[in-house]
Structure 1
Amino acid sequence: MQPTRITELRFEPLDLPLTEPFAIATGAPDMANNVLVRLTLADGTVGLGEAAPFTAVSGESQASTLEALGSVREAMLGKDAAAWRPIGAWLGEALPKAPSARCGLELALLDALCRHHRMPLATFFGGAGTGLDIDMTVTAGDEAHAAASARAIRARGIRTLKVKVGALSPEEDVRRMVVIRREAPEARLFADANGGYTVAGARTFLSGLEAAGIPLALFEQPVPREDWEGMAELTRSSRVPICADESARTVKDVVRLAREGGAHGVNLKFMKSGVGESLAMWNAARAFGMELMMGGMVESTLAMSSAVHFAAGLGGFDYADLDTHLFIREHAFRGGLRVEGGRVDVGHIEAGHGVVLD
């Protein structure tokens, strides 16, 4: 038997309490109800993966993810992990509505394969680099919450703040941005509406920021995923770069956005697309000259470390929104990415993503 044949596949709930609710325009979970995937190869190598379903974004839940994983478990056994791209393509057909489940399997598979070959994931993905400068999120809330969050992020040494907007009115969100600017005057500011505005609301928000003298470096997913015309309209008229997130789940989405002028850039996330599809999206975005962000759902250090390997190893990313592990109150992992101020690095990792169960 090939040493990289899959001989065992296990998965279980991974419930991670958060330091605060991760509030966005469409939801505010106070617990990350994720799934841990363990995959064993014939030579005994074990790889770990994480599925982080976010119901408000993809419609998935922990229960549906466990069910999806169970439906493909027997078919995964006996496959050769070395054929990870064909396996990923097959998973896309078998689990079309369960991207986080697919991602958990792909991450475990790649971790095992790279541990077998004693290769870090960043090297596997291309070796362009090992570190990234990250932002940190100010979740949706009132002005007092925004001020406290900005102070706390600034104290960490992080100089880029990504502010969740769209849960309140554009005028209220402008006031939150003013407060944040006052607390962190040197910070670079992003805004992420998660599809919470209309075109008119997005314009009100942008004009309000301009009137208040608040510079915005990036505006992410201002209108709902299905409003392709609205995305294009804002991209044509906005002085601020527009980044697609929910509107960019597949390589076909990226191609459509590029051809229709629907965004200046795209946010890649393992949990909404899977690893193989994210790689295809990276290639398409690069070919069309679009900006790139690497982001995540509410993921622990396991999936976040994998995302750092991917983005740093491939290179070409303009933004790194890889902070959700900083919102996890406690977990059962050690190893993985290292954080120093506003920079994450995986250069010390010798094999796989570097995360193990503690």
Structure 2
Amino acid sequence: MPLKIVYKPHTLHFRKEAGTSRGVLTQKTSWIIIVTDSEKPGVAGYGECGPLQGLSVDDVPDFEARLADVCGIFNELDLDVFPFNLGIILEQLIPENLPSVRAGIEMALLDIMNGGQRVLFKNAFSNNGEGILMNGLIWMGSYENMLAQVEEKLSLGFTTLKMKVGAIDFEQECRILEAIRQRFDKGTITLRVDANGAFTADNAKERLSLLSAFDLHSIEQPVKAGQHELMADLCASSPVPVALDEELIGITNYRDKFALLKKLAPPFIILKPTLLGGFTATSEWIEIANRLHIGWWITSALESNIGLNAIAQYAAKFNNPLPQGLGTGQLYTNNFDSPLTVENGHLYYKKEVAWTLPGHALAEPA
């Protein structure tokens, strides 16, 4: 029963401009993957390849051509998939420098292996309606805009807020954090910040010292990736616990992963399966982090609800008590309708709500 892959790009449009230290986002393109089985009409597995502009290893001009090549080879081989050969297919068919392709095809294969019902991992989240605690994301913007976002997230029941820093005036960012702390102590509201590598060797320690006044849970990627001596120093000395994010991207070898975490010894790492090469690759990071007593949480990377659903179900496998970064499903005007629902700062999978997905015949097999 040979499987076939088709794909189609889908451009997601943001409801509001989303500001980061790398610029302002208004839209984001993903490639929707559909795997079908000729012997099971009407059954399909869905996945999503969602490279992030300026960040993903596979953010390249000929991305779609490379995706088409992978799908063409897959379709020529008359493959079937089982738990024992899934990893072999991903490793031997999809190059390491196409992490979002590995992630998207892995999602689709897991889906069709489990009956094509969008339940890739059976657990309390996907089966029993248990929620996943999340942080509420505050995008960069004007002082007034960011304060308004804070108020919105608090009104929606979020008890952990994650604020992007490093693009507007640093003093204004500190004023926003101060305004939150004047109203809520760290026992009531947990604060995370994400610098996306915006600090420099000259100002990082001073800024981390200033930020420590606000009882922050952590700071993601204070300086740009690849500065290992500087980052190791910051991980050891920062009064705000450091969480590595971009630092992990592009590292695929198990020994290299172990060496990096051993050398930098961060308090936390943040795991984005789409950027790391899928769930198999992400599980390696988790295994190493657990061995080295490093905390971690899982974050979506601006996927549509197709990718977000898969990532949330994967995250739920681990019963990690830390808030996860899965609150991106409501960002878009043209997302796919799904059972994913945000209530009181938690993500839920409401099985009674139907999916609205693109049809199987998105494109002719490559």
TM-score range, shorter chain: 0.7 to 0.9
What is the CA deviation profile of residues 29-53 of structure 1, one whole-angstrom value per residue up to 9, with x for unaligned ones? 2112111111112323201111211
Q: Secondary structure at the match of 1:28?
A: strand
User: In the alignment, what sits opposite 1:40?
Assistant: 36
User: In the alignment, what sits opposite 1:269?
Assistant: 272
Write the letter of the residue equivalent to 2:266: A
Q: Percent identity?
A: 24
Write the letter of the residue equivalent to 1:167: A
Match status 1:9 vs 2:5: yes
What is the CA deviation profile of residues 161-210 of structure 1, one whole-angstrom value per residue up to 9, with x for unaligned ones? 11111224543432332244457664211011111112442322222234
What is the CA deviation profile of residues 294-340 of structure 1, one whole-angstrom value per residue up to 9, with x for unaligned ones? 01211111111111100111333633011111211222x23342322
Write the letter of the residue equivalent to 2:119: P
Match status 1:84 vs 2:86: yes
Write the letter of the residue equivalent to 1:54: L
1:67–1:153 Cα change, 3 Å: same
Aligned match for 2:54, one of 53, 56, 66: 56
Native 8 Å contact 1:301 1:336 kept in 2: no
Structure with bigger helix share is 1
Native 8 Å contact 1:147 1:183 kept in 2: no
1:154–1:98 Cα change, 3 Å: same
Query: Higher mean Cα deviation, 128-137 or 222-231?
Result: 128-137
TM-score between both structures, scaled by the size of structure 1: 0.87
Write the letter of the residue equivalent to 1:284: I
User: In the alignment, what sits opposite 2:138?
Assistant: 138
Q: Secondary structure at the match of 1:247?
A: helix
1:355–1:128 Cα change, 3 Å: closer
- Residue 246 (structure 1) shift: 0.6
- Residue 87 (structure 1) shift: 1.4
Q: How many residues align?
A: 344
What is the CA deviation profile of residues 221-250 of structure 1, one whole-angstrom value per residue up to 9, with x for unaligned ones? 111111111221111112322111011134
Q: Secondary structure at the match of 1:149?
A: helix
TM-score between both structures, scaled by the size of structure 2: 0.85
Match status 1:327 vs 2:331: yes
Query: Higher mean Cα deviation, 156-165 or 244-253?
Result: 244-253
Structure 2: give runs of 5+ residues left out of the alignment: 359-366
Distance in 2 between the 1:79 and 1:56 partners? 33
1:206–1:36 Cα change, 3 Å: same
Distance in 1 between the 2:255 and 2:271 partners? 13
User: In the alignment, what sits opposite 2:154?
Assistant: 154
Write the letter of the residue equivalent to 1:294: I
User: In the alignment, what sits opposite 2:262?
Assistant: 259
Q: Secondary structure at the match of 2:23?
A: coil
Aligned match for 2:22, one of 23, 26, 39: 26
Distance in 1 between the 2:47 and 2:164 partners? 28
Aligned match for 1:344, one of 347, 350, 358: 347
User: In the alignment, what sits opposite 2:362?
Assistant: none
User: In the alignment, what sits opposite 2:171?
Assistant: 171
Native 8 Å contact 1:170 1:204 kept in 2: no
Write the letter of the residue equivalent to 2:332: I
Distance in 1 between the 2:120 and 2:229 partners? 38
